[in-house]
């Protein structure tokens, strides 16, 4: 039987405020699963037109799947969120691209007609579960020289990227980092960030109860001089610092995806339409270059070129990683199309959650820029991978929804 693929739309995305990992962070004594449950409940609250029983899958990512981030967290989160017990769920791990992979996984299921509506997201409580907790890397990886030992340290892979591309100087990285802080502060001042945040009740044995309403990591007063004085922990006289990298953070995201027909039938908004996506492998020692071939592949699959992309949401794991992408495609460091609301250097990067943050921000930017037809969300991934997803703006004059073709 011939099968027609269906269009998939991004209906809504939300996230918790991001916190600093560690005993003094806002989520120090808040459970990881409760963070993602809060996001799912908010999605359902914002869309009462969606019957809960019509959510047919919940895919939640976590890099460290242990403790309150384990036990098939997608299914656990579905049950705790008030979805009926007929709603299945599963867990995903693709390190930093976990939530991004959750989205493309359920989108593929929607596209082939296996399901109509799903929730995807991610969570990382790096204060409670540091990356690598409980893992036991096979010694053959290093002993048989499958990778250089530096590949197992994300900071070292960023230093390796500096070595490979010497034009990506520390000065450029520091300037990019300061710009990220400045753009995030401006986005907050304009109310662009708050609309997609969910408040989270917190508890702490010593500090009592609290309410998380804004991101904890930003440092809006950061200057070039401040960053120049920071230590380079991964290498003596290196380039990578705490100031031009994303920090260690806690937080969660979730989004609602649907077939375009189902969204229209239920009256759900279509904020973006999926065009194409790609994952690639690269040398683990320079994992930060991953978004470059991933984007080239996604563009080729879509029949587009980089000139067709009008907005970029690039995960700022390290400034050098973003700059390597921009240099490759001939995009200026300060191009206004890139991370208009700032990025992970300022707001934080709770690993597996970040992909949906990128998508949620891109969807909002599409609303503000109807002249832009295509946008892109991309990120590097630990152990030498890259991911890129291309989206279409429904506010563009040339957008044609399913069933409305001339």
Closest alpha carbon to 249 in 12, 15, 13? 15
- The predicted model gives 92-101 an average pLDDT of 97
Structure pTM? 0.96
Distance from C-alpha of 46 to C-alpha of 143, rounded to nearest angstrom: 52
The reported pLDDT for the residue numbered 355 is: 98
The reported pLDDT for the residue numbered 131 is: 85
Q: Which residues contact 91 (CB under 8 A, 6 or more apart)?
A: 59, 60, 61, 62, 65, 70, 72, 73, 74
Distance from C-alpha of 3 to C-alpha of 301, rounded to nearest angstrom: 20
Question: Taking all residues of the chain, what is their mean pLDDT, rounded to a whole number?
Answer: 95
Token pair listed for 248: 């260690």
Closest alpha carbon to 84 in 58, 61, 110? 58
The reported pLDDT for the residue numbered 138 is: 87
Residue 251 lies in a domain: no
Q: Is-catalytic flag, 349?
A: yes
Q: Is-catalytic flag, 328?
A: no
The reported pLDDT for the residue numbered 1 is: 67
| Residue range of the domain that includes 177 | 140-192+275-392
Residue 309 lies in a domain: yes
Contact 257, 267 (CB under 8 A): no
Longest pairwise C-alpha distance within the chain: 65
Distance from C-alpha of 89 to C-alpha of 83, rounded to nearest angstrom: 11
Annotated catalytic residue: which of 96, 129, 162, 255?
A: 96
Give ∠ CA 378-334-291 in degrees, rounded to 5.
20
Annotated catalytic residue: which of 47, 204, 349, 396?
A: 349
Domain count, the chain: 1
Distance from C-alpha of 389 to C-alpha of 98, rounded to nearest angstrom: 13
Annotated catalytic residue: which of 39, 173, 255, 380?
A: 380
Task: Give me the percent of the chain exceeding a pLDDT of 90.
Answer: 89
Alpha carbon separation from 35 to 128, 162, 203, 400 (Å, rounded): 13, 36, 12, 36
State yes or no: pLDDT of 141 exceeds 90.
no
Helix axes 291-302, 319-328, angle to 10 degrees: 40
The string of DSSP letters for 26-91 reads TTTTS-HHHHHHHHHHHHHHH-TTS-GGG---EEEE-SS-SGGG-S-HHHHHHHHTT--TT--EEE
Residue 103 lies in a domain: no
Token pair listed for 54: 């019509």
Alpha carbon separation from 31 to 24, 27, 77, 90, 200 (Å, rounded): 15, 8, 12, 19, 11
Residue 25 lies in a domain: no
Token pair listed for 405: 């073709």
Contact 173, 239 (CB under 8 A): yes
Q: Is-catalytic flag, 96?
A: yes
The reported pLDDT for the residue numbered 406 is: 44
Residue 371 lies in a domain: yes
Residue 114 lies in a domain: no
State yes or no: pLDDT of 124 exceeds 90.
yes
Q: Which residues contact 144 (CB under 8 A, 6 or more apart)?
A: none
The tens digit of pLDDT for each residue in 220-253 reads: 999 999 999 999 999 999 999 999 999 999 999 9
State yes or no: pLDDT of 404 exceeds 80.
no
The tens digit of pLDDT for each residue in 27-84 reads: 999 999 999 999 999 999 999 999 999 999 999 999 999 999 999 999 999 999 999 9
Residue 288 lies in a domain: yes
The tens digit of pLDDT for each residue in 256-297 reads: 999 999 999 999 999 999 999 999 999 999 999 999 999 999
Closest alpha carbon to 197 in 219, 216, 183? 216
- What CATH number corresponds to the domain at position 365? 3.40.47.10
Distance from C-alpha of 270 to C-alpha of 219, rounded to nearest angstrom: 34
The reported pLDDT for the residue numbered 405 is: 57
**SS3 at position 352:** helix
Residue 362 lies in a domain: yes
Q: Which residues contact 161 (CB under 8 A, 6 or more apart)?
A: 168, 286, 288, 289, 318, 320, 321, 324
Q: Give residue 159's pLDDT band: very low, low, confident or very high (50, 70, 90).
A: very high
The reported pLDDT for the residue numbered 333 is: 97
Distance from C-alpha of 292 to C-alpha of 282, rounded to nearest angstrom: 10
State yes or no: pLDDT of 208 exceeds 80.
yes
State yes or no: pLDDT of 136 exceeds 90.
no
Give ∠ CA 196-197-198 in degrees, rounded to 5.
125
The tens digit of pLDDT for each residue in 354-387 reads: 999 999 999 999 999 999 999 999 999 999 999 9
Run of H or E including 212? strand 208-212
Range name among 129-143, 291-305, 314-328 with the lowest pLDDT average = 129-143
């Amino acid at each position: 039987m011939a099968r027609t693929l269906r269009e998939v739309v991004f209906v809504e995305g939300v996230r918790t405020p991001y916190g600093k990992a560690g005993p003094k962070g806002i989520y120090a004594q808040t459970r990881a699963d409760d963070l993602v449950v809060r996001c799912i409940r908010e999605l359902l609250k914002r869309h009462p037109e969606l019957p809960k029983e019509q959510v047919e899958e919940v895919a939640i990512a976590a890099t460290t799947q242990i403790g309150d981030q384990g036990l098939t967290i997608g299914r656990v989160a579905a049950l705790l969120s008030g979805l009926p017990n007929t709603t299945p769920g599963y867990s995903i791990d693709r390190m930093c691209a976990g939530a991004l992979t959750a989205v493309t996984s359920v989108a593929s299921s929607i596209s082939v007609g296996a399901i109509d509506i799903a929730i995807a997201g991610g969570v990382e409580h790096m204060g409670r579960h540091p990356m690598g907790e409980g893992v036991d890397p096979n010694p053959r990886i290093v002993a048989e020289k499958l990778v250089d030992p530096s590949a197992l340290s994300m900071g070292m892979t960023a230093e390796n990227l500096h070595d490979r591309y010497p034009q990506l100087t520390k000065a450029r990285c520091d300037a990019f980092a300061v710009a990220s802080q400045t753009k995030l502060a401006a986005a907050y001042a304009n109310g662009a960030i708050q609309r997609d945040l969910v408040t989270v009740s917190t508890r702490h044995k010593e500090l009592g109860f609290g309410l998380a309403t804004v991101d904890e990591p930003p440092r809006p007063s950061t200057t070039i001089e401040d960053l120049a004085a920071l230590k380079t922990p991964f290498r003596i006289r290196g380039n990578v610092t705490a100031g031009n990298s994303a920090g260690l953070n806690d937080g969660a995201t979730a989004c609602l995806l649907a077939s375009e027909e189902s969204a229209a039938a239920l009256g759900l908004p279509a904020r973006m339409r999926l065009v194409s996506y790609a994952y690639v492998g690269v040398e683990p020692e320079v994992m930060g270059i991953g978004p470059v071939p991933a984007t080239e592949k996604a563009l080729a699959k879509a029949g587009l070129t980089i000139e067709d992309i009008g907005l970029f949401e690039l995960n700022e794991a390290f400034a050098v990683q973003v700059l390597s992408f921009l240099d490759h495609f001939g995009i200026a460091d300060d191009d206004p199309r890139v991370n208009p609301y700032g990025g992970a250097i300022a707001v934080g990067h709770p690993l597996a959650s970040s992909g949906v943050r990128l998508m949620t921000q891109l969807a909002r930017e599409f609303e503000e820029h109807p002249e832009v037809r295509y946008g892109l969300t991309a990120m590097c991934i630990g152990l030498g991978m890259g991911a890129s997803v291309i989206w279409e703006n429904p506010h563009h004059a040339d957008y044609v929804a399913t069933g409305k073709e001339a």
